[in-house]
A and B are shown apart, each in its own frame.
Chain A
Amino acid sequence: MALALPMLASAQQGESHVGKLSGQAAAGKQLYFRYCWGCHGYRGDGNGENGPYLNILPRNFVAATFKCRSTPTGTLPTDEDLYNAMTRGLNNSNMPSWITLTAQNRADLIAFIKTFSPRWKTDKAGDPINVPAEPAVTLDSIKHGKELFTKLECWKCHGPEGHGDGPSASTLTDSNDQPIRPYNFAAGSRFKCGATNHDLYKIFMTGLDGTPMPSFADVIKPEDAWDLVHYLRTLQVTRKSAELALWMSSKEGAEVVNAQKIGGTPTGSGIKQ
């Protein structure tokens, strides 16, 4: 039995499990050296030949620190987390969506990626956090979220209007000591780790490991977290959402949002001529 356990762990490192799919590292290796090595490197350390030219360095699989997880901060992600990140791509980076690969291909790649780091031999993936059902959006929840945005000092990085221009923004670096910009909510683009409210909830409850974005799991209660989600959606002033529509139906919300919207100029620059 004592001998069997390490063998089992070793076998698990060469596999991935995503739903009913089982990925195999041997098959993933061929795919990796077709699609991934240019950025992530032969060793999986993020030092591919294109690495130096990318302004967000490719993921270092040897360090096994991953931004997009459903698991608590500091833990390894689940296979499904890695699979979803690969399928979705990472916005504001050079990592594209690999949805065109077959599901089996993606599962195989996950299995191979896990062979780069010894962490997958010694650690288990964390348990996914519990995401409670989303409560209805109300003006009260948005206003409470706004208070939390101030109280938790989100504005220090993301800026008071969520433009990613807070007083600390210019000083931030990631775990590679590379400058990193906080998310600009006003751009309305997809979040790095998903597009839904559920994804947004997970982002600040698990944190983005390897970046200055911490986990708030120990700081706020789940119901407060949903209020913050609702408020953050209203900062995406260029993207239609139920939260934004509700917020704009109030006098306070309309004033805040309209102040951010500048349009109708010939060049689209917002500068009246």
Chain B
Amino acid sequence: MYEGSPRLGWRKLTFCASGFVSVLLFLTVFLNDSPYALALPLPTPHVRAIPAFARKYGMPCSSCHEAWPKLSAFGQAFKDNGYQMGNDRDAPIFQQPAYWPVTFRMTTFWHRESVNRMQVDDPTSTTGGQMEGKVTTHGFDWSGLDFHTGGTLAKNVSFYVLPSSDNTGAFHFETVMARLDNLAGSSWLNVKLGKFELDNLLSEKRILTLTNNSGVYQNYHFQPATENTSLFTFGIGDNQVGAEWMGHSKDDRTRISAAVLSSNDGSPGLPTSRGYDAFLTASQAFEVGSLGLQRVGVFAYLGQAPTYFQFNEGGAPVPGTGIGNKGFSRIGFIGMWYVKKFDFTTMYFHGSDSAYLGTGTPANQPLPAGAQNPAWNGALIETHYTYNPQFIIINRYEAIRMSQQALPIVAGGGFVPGVSVPSSNFGDIDAFTIGYRYYPFISSRAGFAFHNEYAWVRQRRTSPVNFLDLTSSSLMFGFDFAF
């Protein structure tokens, strides 16, 4: 680096900034020991940032990522084009024979998790009574391991396979797909088949926050608290199994996609349903002078889920024989707004489920008295300040509000499955996250980030014994690295 390089200044500044914010976050939580804590047990994110692509094309990660793993417009176009630059160097034949398109990613960290009202045994009870207790734990830990393999099999034939483990080393396939790109020479004809992330503009797989409470978007996974999630589990942020057509303009300003998916929430082996869902997206970007590229979009997931199994064997359901399908929908509007180094993502979300799904009632049985289709509205605002490619501050707030409960409201009561809920706001969620990521170096070979974050989630009236507000929090700092 030469003396006039701005990066020297950036490094000093970003290092100071990262230290300052780190101390601030630490003090905020430790000195205050917030009474709000913990949250819903949420899946570990399988976040994507692919140094293998950077190595293939010899480009720094900052080209494709505003701050990895969050994609830039250039990175989004690269992905939409089938992991190709379109410069005649895309086919594997242009790589050294030893080139192997594999990246691993892992995170080592310290974290503190707290739940304000967890169900625990009541030590004073002689009859096995339960009570609620605040549970806080902290210590050093590590994440699961992701092995990303992806790229091109030939010009305009791409693939992505992602074996992913939890932090015990138990692997599953998070992504398995192949894609025919630019069919008939048109960027509007791309077809993929397999298990893949839905074409979400706000990608959960590229989320910048990593804790138990913030590693997924609440809106993407929300289900009313009255539902029986043993048979119906769904998340728009979960990778799904199916086929997708996607098209985009050459400059990627216009994007559109439609997918047909098996109704099994991305699980392999058709465990429950023989039904099919649909996911549709469309978005348009436009330039606003020196402010940057703005994008607005819409998405809709229209699905169905079984409510009971057609057959049992030895008392256990026969997999794949779920019937009595009932519908559900998720619809959202999204805006991604850039004001130079600031960017804001705003999202409105509306969800609705059949009353059968909402109350966990098999379709061959009568609905509970007063049952109706649960419906809710959600909002998200995520703000980033990208000081430079090496330093980003992240803030997110999500709110989910039930507009219609599936079961009658009995004020002062608790949640009685199949009968009543305690309040109109039963299950409402507020989630707040603040953090930053500092990348000490940017290269085309590997990625490393110092990550510091605090997240807090409150779900109304869902504590397990007294039906009070259930809150949880996470504090985390650690190293996030990929090679």
The chain A residues found within 8 Å of chain B, CB to CB, are 27, 29-30, 33-35, 37-39, 42-43, 49-50, 53-54, 89-105, 189
Contact = CB atoms under 8 A, between A and B. Distances in A.
Interface string B1-19: 1100111000000000000
A35 B57 contact: no
Given A33-B389, A34-B63, A100 B73 contact: yes
Given A38-B63, A49-B443, A104-B289, A90 B87 contact: yes
Give 5 closest A-B pairs by Cβ, nearest first: A50-B58, A96-B85, A38-B60, A100-B77, A102-B287
A89 B389 CA distance: 23
Interface of A is mostly: loop
Nearest to A53: B58
Given A33-B6, A100-B73, A54 B58 contact: yes
B346 interface: no
Contact of B62 (A34, A49, A98): A34
Contacts of B413: none
B238 interface: no
Given A38-B60, A38-B63, A29 B85 contact: no
Interface string B37-78: 000000000000000000001111011000000000110110
B119 interface: no
B444 interface: yes
B293 A102 contact: yes
Interface of B: 1-2, 5-7, 57-60, 62-63, 73-74, 76-77, 85-89, 250-252, 287, 289-290, 292-293, 388-389, 443-444
Given A33-B5, A42-B5, A100-B252, 7 more contacts: A38-B59, A38-B443, A42-B7, A89-B87, A91-B87, A96-B85, A99-B250
A100 B87 contact: no
B79 to A, nearest CB: 11
Contact of A39 (B59, B62, B86): B59
Given A99-B251, A102-B293, A38 B74 contact: no
A30 B388 contact: yes
A92 B88 contact: yes
Contacts of A49: 443-444
A24 B205 CA distance: 35
20 contacts: A29-B6, A34-B388, A35-B74, A38-B58, A38-B59, A38-B60, A42-B5, A89-B85, A89-B86, A90-B87, A91-B88, A92-B88, A93-B89, A96-B57, A96-B86, A97-B85, A97-B87, A100-B73, A102-B292, A102-B293
A100 B63 CA distance: 11
B84 to A, nearest CB: 9
Contacts of B57: 94, 96
Contacts of A34: 60, 62-63, 388-389
Given A34-B389, A42-B5, A104-B287, A97 B60 contact: no
B86 A97 contact: yes
Contacts of B85: 89, 94, 96-97
